[in-house]
Amino acid sequence: MENKKHIFTPLLISLGVILGVVIGLFAGRNSIDSRLRRLAETINAPGNKLTYALSLIDRMYVDTVNTDSLVERLMPELMWNLDPHSVYIPADELAQVNLPLDGEFDGIGISFNMSTDTIVVLNVIPHGPSQKAGMQNGDRIIYIGDSLVAGQKIPIDNIMKMLRGPRGTEVSVSVQRQNIDGLVPIDIIRDKIPVKSVDAAFMLTSDVAFMKITTFSQHTYEEMVHALSTLRGEGMKKLIIDLRGNTGGYMGQPILMANEFLPDGRLIVYTKDRNGDQTREYSDGKGRYQDIELAVLIDENSASSSEIFAGALQDNDRATIIGRRSYGKGLVQQQIPFSDGSAMRLTTARYYTPTGRSIQKPYTAADTAYEYDIYNRYLHNELFSADSIHFADSLKFTTPGGRTVYGGGGIMPDMFVPLDTTGMNNYYIEVVGRNILYRYVMDYSDRHREAVNAVDDIASLDSLLDADSRLLEDFTAYADRNGVAYNRTQIRQSEKLLRALLRAYIGRNTKLEDNGFYANYYTIDAPVLKALEVFDEQ
């Protein structure tokens, strides 16, 4: 019995090892089931080992085993042993995982915050379900249906599940509204809600536009072209595209986007599969913005499609890339669905920039160190100094315009801008870390609700904020009352940073949303300021 236990224990630990053990155990015994012998003969190819092992477990294991449950536990391990970006997505997670890529979801159409354990409505999407039902900016949601949600420490993911649902269904909420006694009931019919990937697009100066793209969904190209058309009408001659923190998405979107800026016949990107077969994508010369001066901002969290776009413009000498070395993901995945609603994203090719660079950083299968790469860059001072980044000569490539670019692990910008920690002293860390800065912004918005709701462009936002000469003093007094003592020296050190953030977050609480944020934040945003310098020098 001891030996049998020893033999069967690996059955639950490593299916890849037990097949020979099981066959060896039964091969010398006349009692082997003839059906299993036939099964062993028909499922005998090495590629069917896992199927055979699961069949044996299902038919012969001493206890009843849910093989579906075993497979669910095995699939992530199987993918992890291929590469860092091949993944298995369970059925109950697929919709949430695909949400940033789908470009829409079914819901009620609000953005909200739970900084004080109460759902505070920041913005009601124009013409969306909540606006039609009478929801207003600043409302506090106290009940969803019959469930008390205020002050209950309910995770934000659970709140979102309660508010979202199939279009056409109804959700009832009760809200607390400023200057209204009692709760206000609102019945909302859920509908299609667009998910924006172009978060901000506005004129930064009289001729320089700024655009923030957060992901590459199936509608990103359409959103970009629509925004560019508006910006050109407002005087755009130069454009800053901010891809910092953009982890990628659909590969076809950056190809369409790059085409808008490139002359005819320029290679945008190519892929190569296991057989060496290549697919090459070229510009068609129909791009409407070939005359626009470009700067593209990237950082260590810009990945995949962001790198395709930045690499195409850099290798064609079409844009100045500014910021820090990008993530380094040069593998292409295809999402393959299973009949139970789950899916596998399997790496099927590598992509290369026009000069032939592979952007993929080194990895091995089941590589635990891979996910710590960004942290290691921080430890090695790379985020603060370009001198800390070293490339082998074999990774050097030359653009048609004679610029040296590098492969082997991300897009290296033409102009390096270090991570800026200016003004981040203990006072700043406390007011941000304790969420006091954001709580103050909510308090400010409530006290000035009529004026905040009346803001409809950047000029009116500036007028509102410029009129409040004591904004910083009011904030520091609020912080002092809420546990962060007044510190004159450190407040002076952080003054520029704090003023910009206060204005930016108040701007985001208006109907301008991220346009209001970035229109104020750029004054302390070193890569944006560097891009403006580059444009002035050209």
461 and 525 Cβ atoms separated by less than 8 Å: no
382 and 391 Cβ atoms separated by less than 8 Å: no
- Please choose, from the candidates 333, 305, 296, the residue with its C-alpha nearest in 3D space to the C-alpha of residue 412: 296
* Contacts of residue 493, Cβ cutoff 8 Å, sequence gap at least 6: 423, 425, 427
What positions carry a catalytic annotation? 304, 315, 329
The CA distance from 23 to 301, in Å, is: 49
- The beta-carbon contacts of 370-379 under 8 Å, at least 24 apart in sequence, are 370/84, 371/84, 373/328, 374/300, 374/301, 374/327, 377/300, 377/325
Count the Cβ atoms, other than its own, within 10 Å of residue 135: 24
Query: What are the E-state strand segments in 243-311?
Result: 267-272, 278-282, 293-298
The shares of helix, strand and coil residues in the chain, as percent rounded to the nearest 5, are 40, 20, 40
| Alpha carbon 443 to its chain's center | 29
511 and 455 Cβ atoms separated by less than 8 Å: yes
The CA distance from 45 to 54, in Å, is: 15
The CA distance from 373 to 382, in Å, is: 11
- DSSP state, 394? G
The CA distance from 132 to 460, in Å, is: 25
Dump the DSSP string for 113-165: E-TTSSEEEEEEPTTSHHHHHT--TT-EEEEETTEE-TTS---HHHHHHHH--
Query: What are the E-state strand segments in 299-449?
Result: 320-323, 331-337, 343-352, 396-398, 404-406, 415-416
- Please choose, from the candidates 425, 359, 367, the residue with its C-alpha nearest in 3D space to the C-alpha of residue 391: 359
